[in-house]
Amino acid sequence: MMMKKKKQVPEWLNSSLWYSSSDHHRFDPPEPPSPLPPPVSVSEDPPTIPTNHDASPSSSISSAPSAADDTSRHGHAHTQLLVELSRKVIDMRELRRVASQGLSDAAAQALRPTLWKLLLGCLPPDRALWSSELAKKRSQYKHFKDDLLINPSEIIRRMHNSTSHDIDDAKFQSRTLLARSQITHGDHPLSLRKTSIWNQFFRDTEIIEQIDRDVKRTHPDMHFFSGDSQFAKSNQEAFKNILIIFAKLNPGIRYVQGMNEVLAPLFYVFRNDPDEENAAFAEADTFFCFVELLSGFQDNFCKQLDNSLVGIRSTITRLSQLLKEHDEELWRHLEITTKVNPQFYAFRWITLLLTREFDFSDILHIWDTLLSDPEGPKETLLRVCCAMLILVRRRLLAGDFTSNLKLLQSYPSTNISHLLHVANKLHVQSV
């Protein structure tokens, strides 16, 4: 069968909207990650997009900016965001609307930490409650650390010395370490029997080792996360603490590879808060925001739900349906003609919330939009994924299985404002 060269493109896809000045990006090879992206969102060239504003502001709460007047809007949005964040009681609907328009470089570092905490529900809308709420959470986190964490060298020491177990806290016993009283002579550490008390202990150790391996592999190209500096080491320590505590408090999910990547943007943003006190408590604040964020996405991480209506497979199927709905030709070419199972690329896109697909500063930009959507980040995420496919549709339609899968597994760098605009357009289309 010959590949069709001439294809019928749905009318709306022919809109010059899709092929703006950012068009050239789509044919660039993916750029290697920059050694140390700046801690602020990138400023794109304002794409010259025709004034095809069929998305009336009233048709959607989260109507995205037309990328045309990106820059001027950014200044305006900054002021608006400041205004919204200064209110005595934050109007969340208004905040989401303003935030969804994107943060300017200037606004990003100063405002993003507070913005994300509000959007994730870790700060209540009433400002008067902020300090007490933060104090409560930070103290709770300290308790988690005291109760659940034993430093790795202590664990190693204990592994070699079974008589030194003295963790008796019954409350956490079942999910953490073992009570000394339960260890009998028959329960030799080398026993691999499922009933072995040591088995549970080793499972914990296994998870901790896995976390340790992955934390070291988190953004190895960024000094913030990686390297031998004191700063990087203390950040890695915070990462490990958060992931271990999460794993122990959530025995049904524990730790799944990739959670480190989802954690990274949160911790990076909070750790770089210009407010020194907030930055000092970044670990605690990140933990609670991470829990909030994952509560919306945890089903994707849960193996038992893989084949259920809420698991990762069905989420991927929904992406496939979304593509079919908006661009059936592309859907057909990808899934029927070239047989690219969406699981081959979308599994990582979705479970990691796109954190592997773009430069770090771009990820923060995308997350502003994900987190500010009033419907919650799940639907927005699928629309952004669908927009990613549509933005490279010409290449995909000309590609075979191999080239298509390679393209989608290492997605080319692209104008993020434009990507988000297209994603929002899909929203408007289906409304």
Partner 1 sequence: MHNISQRKRTLLKVIVLGDSGVGKTSLINQYVDKKFSQQYKATIGADFVTKEIQVDDKLVTLQIWDTAGQERFHSLGAAFYRGADCCVLVYDINIQKTFDTLNNWHDEFLKQADTNDPEAFPFVLIGNKVDVDGGNSRRVTEKKARNWCASRGNIPYYETSAKEGYNVEEAFFCVAKIAQENEHVQDIFFGGISESVSEAEQQQQPSRCAC
Q: Where do contacts with partner 1 occur on this chain (CB under 8 A)?
A: 1-3, 5, 210, 213-214, 217-221, 226, 256-258, 260-261, 301, 303, 306-307, 312-313, 338, 341, 343-344, 347-348, 351-352, 356, 395, 398-403, 405-406, 409
Q: Minimum distance from CB of 175 to partner 1 (Å)? A: 18
Measured from the CB atom, the residue of 87 and 339 that comes closer to partner 1 is: 339
Q: Minimum distance from CB of 413 to partner 1 (Å)? A: 17
Q: How far apart are CA 7 and CA 228, in angstroms?
A: 53
Q: Which of 323, 322, 347 is nearest to 396 (CA)?
A: 323
DSSP 132: H
Q: Which two tokens stand for residue 293?
A: 């964020």
Q: How far apart are CA 340 and CA 337, in angstroms?
A: 8
Measured from the CB atom, the residue of 61 and 407 that comes closer to partner 1 is: 407
User: Got the DSSP string for 228-259?
Assistant: SSHHHHHHHHHHHHHHHHHHHH-TTT---TTH
Q: How far apart are CA 207 and CA 166, in angstroms?
A: 21
Residue 89 main-chain phi, psi, to 5 deg: -120, 120
Q: Minimum distance from CB of 65 to partner 1 (Å)? A: 32
Q: Minimum distance from CB of 213 to partner 1 (Å)? A: 5
Q: Minimum distance from CB of 219 to partner 1 (Å)? A: 8
Measured from the CB atom, the residue of 42 and 407 that comes closer to partner 1 is: 407
Region of 345 (left: φ > 0; alpha: ψ -120 to 50; beta: rest) is alpha
Measured from the CB atom, the residue of 113 and 399 that comes closer to partner 1 is: 399
Q: Which two tokens stand for residue 416?
A: 């993020």
Measured from the CB atom, the residue of 3 and 106 that comes closer to partner 1 is: 3
Q: Minimum distance from CB of 400 to partner 1 (Å)? A: 5
Measured from the CB atom, the residue of 130 and 401 that comes closer to partner 1 is: 401
Measured from the CB atom, the residue of 288 and 367 that comes closer to partner 1 is: 367
Contact indicator for 329, 397 with CB cutoff of 8 Å: yes
Measured from the CB atom, the residue of 146 and 228 that comes closer to partner 1 is: 228
- Could you tell me how many residues make up the chain? 431
Measured from the CB atom, the residue of 111 and 363 that comes closer to partner 1 is: 363
Measured from the CB atom, the residue of 141 and 360 that comes closer to partner 1 is: 360
User: Got the DSSP string for 26-45?
Assistant: GGSPPPPPPSS--SS-----
Q: Minimum distance from CB of 223 to partner 1 (Å)? A: 13
Q: Which two tokens stand for residue 242?
A: 């958060």
Residues 6+ apart with CB under 8 A from 278: 113, 270, 285
Please list the residues that pair with 126 across neighbouring strands. 89
Residue 126 main-chain phi, psi, to 5 deg: -80, 110
Q: Minimum distance from CB of 5 to partner 1 (Å)? A: 7
SS3 label, residue 89: strand
Q: How far apart are CA 204 and CA 247, in angstroms?
A: 9
Q: Minimum distance from CB of 385 to partner 1 (Å)? A: 14
Measured from the CB atom, the residue of 2 and 431 that comes closer to partner 1 is: 2
Q: Which of 160, 150, 180 is nearest to 168 (CA)?
A: 180
Of the chain, the end-to-end C-alpha distance in Å amounts to 38
Q: Minimum distance from CB of 261 to partner 1 (Å)? A: 8
Cβ neighbours of 202 (radius 10 Å): 17
Q: Minimum distance from CB of 343 to partner 1 (Å)? A: 5
